[in-house]
Amino acid sequence: MNLIDWLIVILLNGSIIVYGIRLSRGVKSSADWFLAGRSLPWWLVGISMYATAIDASDLVADSGGTYRLGLSYFVTNWVGIVGGWLLGAFVIYPSIYRAGMYTNAEYLEARFSPSVRVLCALIQVQYRTLVLAIIATTLYLTLSIVCDWGTEAWWAVAAIAALATVYTALGGLKSVAVTDSLQFGVMTVAGLIIWSLVWNETGGWDGIRQRLQDHQSGLADELLQVQYDNVQLQDVRDTDRAAIERHLITGGTYDASTGMITRRTPGWLVALAFIIVGVAYSIVNHTQTMRMFASRSEWDMKMSVWVAAAAMLLMSFFNLSMGVMGRALFPDVGDLPHGAADSVYPHLVNQFSITGLKGIVVAGVLAASFSTFDSIGSTLSALLTRDVYARLFVRSRGDKHYMRVGQLFTPLIIAGSFLYVPFMKGGMLLFYLDLTSTFVIPLLTLFLMGALTRVHSCTGLIGLLAGAGYGVMRLLAAPVAEWHGIQILPAAMTNSFAAYVFSILVTAGTMVVASLFLGWAPKGNLSHVEQPGWLRTSQLALRQLEVEDDQTAASDGAPLLLAIISVAIGCWLSFVVFW
């Protein structure tokens, strides 16, 4: 990195941050801070949804993931996230929007119980602070490799997190949404430039395939086609027979000639798991729902889906294929810095010495990081303020008090996320996928069952505990088997990809069985009035903010058609073109 590179980084990101701080002057109330006063047009909501979804982890951590997993992970974005946006905007969120709810956790109290609402907020804090830790690690890898810094890169990461904290705490969602749209432009340009250079270096699609095939027979098909099985190998050559038998309790086949345990997951099951991951991201993750709730009308909320989807369908290929191209150029993970697949993206950037290139790419990674640091910071502060602090502890203070509490939670959330960093060494994406099925998927099941069925209101907590209980047992299954030789779950239920399906089945099945004894919820529209105090007054104020114009009364036909076309394109890419 030379002076020109650093000037590019500072100019591009510095100007956006300054503008974000300027926007904070328009924040007067909690509705302004938490939901931008319900003033955001459809195009801004859509761009912000995409910019938040594609963060630095997609540029770096997900490239490390596709280095190992190949195109199968693309299904998460192309089908899961896009399909989740459609399902949320047209099925789950409209009644929430009309009820004047600030968070998706509020819906779970209206449909189930206050305890589920609080647990939803706490699970999301765990879920999204993990992502913040991934972004921090991403920044560290980028700065340490591209800028040739050592451990001092962590000081720069801390400074970046602090800057994001400042304008998020001051400006709230409107500041975040507008800066997201500007950061979207920076990271898109940076991503396309470096992708073009690496694509040319690999020799295009044919070159990628040939390089992979030359390295290992069958590797090209495994990485470049979604349908191929996921194969995990465990080296047990230096392990005694009794220990090998304990390893096999959780599945797999042992080949004595190679000393390897092979665990194979069918390609269709991997694809299904990644679809569930994407749907959960769109619905459970309040960084997405918060933007939709800030739309100036229901029509704008629904119309935003195709904007976000169009960007996602196009840019996912350019962003995620970096890992596959990196595997073609550097097929042995030992050839990468730190011997880690997660370092492949910055390592690819480091191969080019074009003046200004590194500055543009680092600026893009920083922009992607800022757009998610600020989004998650504002989102989790909203959840903690409304769904925990105001719901359980302090109910009747002035509006300014709760806005200040939300601002104070922001730095605590971002700083606390660094506690996850030590767990990133085994692969950021794989660690994320392993934890997501434990708590997030049961929560996704509650949203779906609440909107699509008439299960009893008491089954929300029952189902959530059952699903989370299964998830915890799955995490413990391998160490318990290896240390004590005890099988606590059938081998099929310990598979990390099958866990997504089993989590839904356990949660939903428990809710249905409980409803057979407790009865079924009555038909009718969702109606929820908050507890007396600030929660109720702010809810009633928010209901008055929807803009009444010709578009709000417009037919849902155009937004729905565009959203369906977007999902169809994602399915075509996943299950036809690259299947």
The string of pLDDT tens digits covering residues 422-435 is: 765 555 556 666 67
* pLDDT of 400 strictly over 70: yes
Could you tell me if 172 and 298 are in contact, meaning their C-beta atoms sit under 8 angstroms apart?
no
As a whole number of angstroms, the distance between CA 21 and CA 176 comes to 10
Distance of alpha carbon 575 from the chain centroid: 22
* pLDDT of 200 strictly over 70: yes
Confidence class for position 550, pLDDT limits 50, 70, 90: very low
The answer to whether domain 3-229+266-454+523-577 has CATH 1.20.1730.10 is: yes
How does pLDDT run across 54-76, given as a tens digit for each residue?
765 666 777 877 888 888 888 99
Distance of alpha carbon 243 from the chain centroid: 37
As a whole number of angstroms, the distance between CA 491 and CA 505 comes to 16
Listed ranges 21-30, 322-331, 434-443, 512-521; the one with the highest mean pLDDT: 512-521
The structure tokens listed for 308 are 């976000």
How does pLDDT run across 404-416, given as a tens digit for each residue?
887 788 778 877 7
Residue that has been written with the tokens 């038909």 in this structure: 523
As a whole number of angstroms, the distance between CA 324 and CA 331 comes to 10
pLDDT above 70 as % of the chain: 82
Report the range of poorest mean pLDDT among 146-155, 254-263, 306-315: 146-155
Among residues 105, 125, 121, 113, the alpha carbon closest in space to that of 461 is found at 113
Q: What is the DSSP letter of 295?
A: B
The pLDDT value recorded for residue 575 is 93
Mean pLDDT across the chain, nearest whole number? 81
Cβ neighbours of 4 (radius 10 Å): 13
As a whole number of angstroms, the distance between CA 116 and CA 137 comes to 32
Average of pLDDT values for 265-277?
91
The DSSP bridge partners found for residue 262 are: 233, 253
Confidence class for position 553, pLDDT limits 50, 70, 90: very low
The DSSP bridge partners found for residue 253 are: 262
393 CB-near residues (< 8 Å, 6+ apart): none
Average of pLDDT values for 95-111?
84
The pLDDT value recorded for residue 568 is 96
Terminal alpha carbon distance of the chain: 40
The structure tokens listed for 277 are 């991951």
Listed ranges 177-191, 402-416, 443-457; the one with the highest mean pLDDT: 443-457
* pLDDT of 242 strictly over 90: no
DSSP element (H, E) containing 447: helix 428-452
Could you tell me if 79 and 574 are in contact, meaning their C-beta atoms sit under 8 angstroms apart?
yes
Amino acid at the residue 423: F
Among residues 283, 540, 546, 538, the alpha carbon closest in space to that of 405 is found at 538
pLDDT above 90 as % of the chain: 21
- Dihedral (CA of 484, 489, 492, 494) sign: negative
DSSP of 59-118: IIIHHHHHHHHGGGGHHIIIIIIHHHHHHIIIIIHHHHHHTT-SSHHHHHHHHT-HHHHH
Average of pLDDT values for 374-402?
81
Distance of alpha carbon 442 from the chain centroid: 16
107 CB-near residues (< 8 Å, 6+ apart): 92, 96, 99, 101, 447, 450, 526, 528
The pLDDT value recorded for residue 171 is 54
Q: Report phi then psi at 331, rounded to 5.
A: -70, -20
Listed ranges 2-11, 34-43, 75-84, 344-353; the one with the highest mean pLDDT: 75-84
The pLDDT value recorded for residue 524 is 63
Report the range of poorest mean pLDDT among 100-114, 233-247, 335-349: 335-349
How does pLDDT run across 506-539, given as a tens digit for each residue?
999 999 999 999 999 887 666 666 677 777 777 7
SS (H, E, C) 191-213: HHHHHHHHHHHHCHHHHHHHHHH
As a whole number of angstroms, the distance between CA 41 and CA 36 comes to 11
100 CB-near residues (< 8 Å, 6+ apart): 539, 540, 542, 543
Domain boundaries, the chain: 3-229+266-454+523-577
Could you tell me if 296 and 41 are in contact, meaning their C-beta atoms sit under 8 angstroms apart?
yes
Listed ranges 181-190, 214-223, 426-435; the one with the highest mean pLDDT: 214-223
Among residues 233, 250, 226, the alpha carbon closest in space to that of 495 is found at 250
Amino acid at the residue 572: W
Report the range of poorest mean pLDDT among 262-276, 351-365, 419-433, 558-572: 419-433
Bridging pattern class, strands 260-265 and 230-235: antiparallel
Bridging pattern class, strands 253-255 and 230-235: unpaired
